[in-house]
Structure 1
Amino acid sequence: MKPTKLFAVLGGAAVAILSIFLIAADHVDAPAVAQTTTDIADVYAFEGSNPNNTVLIATIQGPLTPGNVTEMAEFPEDVLVEFNIDNTGDFVEDLVIQAIRRGDSMYFFGPAAPAQTGLNSTIQTTAPMNSVKISSTSETEVTTNNNMSFFAGPRRDYFFFDFDRFNQVASDTPPTEGFLPAGQATDFFEDLNVLAITVEVPNSMLGTAPAHAAKATGLPQFDNFPNAYNVWVSAKRKQ
């Protein structure tokens, strides 16, 4: 298959993962791609139900309102969503897991060493390939192969944010009690959706995780942080 070169249109914030749960959120605030099919909403990385696995999730096109807006939302065929994994601690991707739609399925390549690092990518067609049928709002398709699991389709937005309270706190006359505690806050995203791409992968395929980035600060409260991969997501459109 002829290699296809893709160019980055948006990069997700970096997160570190291994036995802890971390999230990077970026809902509709990148002007060049806001409300487009390449708009990354969130990046999640956390330990799987099997502690020897890591789950990676990228959500895009959020927020989507329920009904026709969600049902009509599609992954574009000219956009590559790429999970970048740094396992040496230098914040340069050592491995990538690539996801791109073809017809009614999402195809995954990797984990594999990238042909090049940075803003440009080539689809790693010689890397291990898997696919899963893209789910609809009424069905869930999950593929498990080679100890990896895959999902792609609409999901309720996983992110929690009390947007109304945030605006009150950020106003000229903020409430004296500040943000509301759990149980009293209202989730702005409760009835909103995203398109999600999910991969669960054995840590043995990701290499040995480096020392957690927080340890580089030299602050003693980070001494006991576990080793952790650095993970970020980019969406790259074919040019």
Structure 2
Amino acid sequence: MKKSKLLATIGGLGVAALSVFLISADHIDAPAVAGTTADITDFYAFEGESSNNFVFVANVQGLLLPGQPTDQAEFDETVLLEFNIDVDNDLKEDLVIQAIKRGDSMYFFGPSAPAMQGLESTIATSTRRSVQISTKDDVQIAEQDGMKFFAGPRDDPFFFDFNKYNEVLAGTATSFDDPGTDTFAGTNVLSVVVEFPKSMLPAGTAGVNPFAPTTPMYNVWVEAKRKQ
């Protein structure tokens, strides 16, 4: 069984219940990785069109100009994206779904128990699935083993008025525009999307969901890990 060792670089946080999600954004404000192939812009976790499924989305490499990338070379083969799932509310990953580029495809592994918890990861290829990386003119979605996969450029969905935000921080804002100016309008991100049946996860922790106490909750977050 082939394994690769990687180290974490940056992560985004979230919480997913059956119908509840939180998002952590990291647009252009992470100096250690800003502008690199490991720069996470957003992480989304939500219920799929089918209420039996979860959908995880990791967006990386923000502020790509329209028309970029022109081919599949923009994803970095040395960067692993790892969706971490905590099912017992101890804030440690119990299961992971991993994605990494090889050639013109994105390969997915899991959900499976991690070989180790924390900053270091290994990839076991026993559950390998893949999708061809999309371009703006050729969108590919793969369906395998009840799961769906996508990887490629998408219009950045995150709305944020960065200039007004800076004015607020500086104390110079005198008014607010409605709806404001979307700093990220017209720019792309690289998206990695996986949809999978909820039945692939053990029951989440009950009684700790602040939004719906009777709804089991999962803590989920994403990391970008670079091969060393």
By the TM > 0.5 criterion, same fold? Answer: yes
State the match for 1:143 in structure 2.
142
Structure-2 change in CA distance of 1:17 and 1:223 (3 Å) = closer
C-alpha RMSD over aligned residues: 1.9
Judge conservation of contact 1:38–1:61 (CA < 8 Å) in 2. Answer: yes
Q: How far does residue 173 in structure 1 lie from its aligned partner after superposition?
A: 3.1
Relative distance call for 1:20 and 1:192 in structure 2 (3 A) is: same
For 1:54 and 1:109, how far apart are their aligned partners in 2? 16
Provide TM-score, normalisation by structure 1.
0.88
Is the aligned partner of 1:195 residue 2:202? no
| Alpha-carbon distance in structure 1 between the residues aligned to 2:207 and 2:218 | 7
CA-to-partner distance for each residue in 1:135-193, whole Å, 9 max, x for gaps?
A: 011121000111100000000111111223323333333225xx444xx3222111111
In structure 2, C-alpha distance between the alignment counterparts of 1:213 and 1:164, rounded to whole Å: 38
Cα contact 1:148–1:202 (8 A) shared by 2: yes
188-197 or 11-20, larger mean C-alpha shift: 11-20
- Tell me the amino acid that sits aligned with residue 159 of structure 1: F
Aligned residues: 227
The Cα shift of 1:207 comes to 1.5
* Aligned counterparts of 2:214 and 2:220: Cα–Cα separation in 1: 16
Deviation of the 1:237 alpha carbon? 1.0
Q: 5+ unaligned residues in a row in structure 1: which ranges?
A: 216-221
Question: 1:143-182 residue pairs with structure 2 within 5 A?
Answer: 143-176=142-175, 179-181=176-178
SS of the residue corresponding to residue 167 of structure 1 reads helix
Q: Which runs of 5+ in 2 are unaligned?
A: none
Which whole-Å deviations, capped at 9, do the CAs of 1:179-225 have from their partners, x for residues lacking one?
444xx32221111110000000111101112137554xxxxxx5647
Deviation of residue 55 (structure 1)? Answer: 0.4
User: SS of the residue aligned with 2:81?
Assistant: strand
Aligned to 1:103: 103
| Structure 1 residues 70 and 226, CA gap change in structure 2 (3 angstroms) | same
Alignment correspondent of 1:49: 49
Aligned to 2:216: 227
Per the alignment, residue 80 of structure 2 pairs with 80
